[in-house]
Homo-oligomer: A and B are copies of this chain.
């Protein structure tokens, strides 16, 4: 089980990881009806928080395992995180990616020097494919969220939020986190439990793919009906993780969900007011702050903007269709 000691250890090992800023803008506060603080993980190395978990997992491997290499399956951001962290550790990396992943993410992964293996998201079982490749080549599988070191690495976001929120004078607030399998949400929740108990994680998901919100409400892990069909490709996962769910069941508030249109509008708001580039899946937490105001209490809300690896056409559409 991941605990805050593992998160602190991951933070001490995280040489290559950037401490991202917690951004604010008066215009954004006006739109959201309360103070909004945005943890800009789109500015993280590789363009998303996934670099943190990847670094934590690979830096925890034995020298022998690192030399053999790592394998990851991912729609894109975990892929880039693993490819980058593996290269930084001198480890070979094989990445299994869905063939419908945005080209920008496939190209980004290849650019870090990884071998990319594509699969059909509707037809193939990526877990079985990944496990097979790992066995065959002696690679260590680093899953995208349900892994103690990955959760520990993502939790370093929470350590930073705790310190930055205190500096900003925010002691009590909901912390909205873009949620796929729950690795980031669980890691942040564990860090905040230790360092900022007045801050509470709440997951934000695409409507129709809100498995975590429904699972939290029902008290058991429920699956999504599909894993395609939203523009928020970064956070479409089949079901909450076996490791992440119990953490969030204990620590998180009720989950939130937003439409694709709301995620796209949040991309435009972040462009205009914060001057950062978000992908739709990385903007769902900000979208929840903007469009689920009544479901949030308090004078301030913190949002994790989890990634910015967006197709040019998608971003151009988001800002053009949501002019102020």
- Taking Cβ atoms with an 8 Å cutoff, the residues of A that contact B are 18, 20-21, 23-27, 30, 40, 42-43, 45, 47, 84, 104, 107-108, 111-112, 268, 271-272, 274-278, 308-309, 312-313, 315-316, 319-320, 323-324
A59 vs B104: C-alpha distance in the bound complex, in angstroms?
Answer: 45
A228 vs B303: C-alpha distance in the bound complex, in angstroms?
Answer: 40
The 8 closest A-B pairs by CB, nearest first: A275-B308, A275-B277, A42-B275, A316-B316, A312-B319, A316-B320, A47-B275, A312-B323
When distances are taken between beta carbons in the complex, the residues of chain B under 8 Å from A25 are 45
When distances are taken between beta carbons in the complex, the residues of chain B under 8 Å from A320 are 312-313, 316
Name the one of B272, B315, B323 contacting A271, with C-beta atoms under 8 angstroms.
Answer: B315
A324 vs B40: C-alpha distance in the bound complex, in angstroms?
Answer: 24
Chain B nearest Cβ from A67, distance in angstroms: 22
Q: How many copies does the complex hold?
A: 2
Given that A20-B21, A319-B315, A320-B312 are contacting pairs, would A111 and B27 also be in contact in the complex, using a CB cutoff of 8 Å? yes
Chain B nearest Cβ from A88, distance in angstroms: 10
When distances are taken between beta carbons in the complex, the residues of chain B under 8 Å from A24 are 45
Name the one of B27, B40, B316 contacting A319, with C-beta atoms under 8 angstroms.
Answer: B316
When distances are taken between beta carbons in the complex, the residues of chain B under 8 Å from A42 are 275
Chain B, Cβ-Cβ closest to A313:
B320
A92 vs B40: C-alpha distance in the bound complex, in angstroms?
Answer: 32
Chain B nearest Cβ from A266, distance in angstroms: 14
- 6 pairs, CB–CB < 8 Å, chain A vs chain B: A20-B21, A21-B43, A43-B275, A275-B277, A275-B308, A312-B324
When distances are taken between beta carbons in the complex, the residues of chain B under 8 Å from A20 are 21
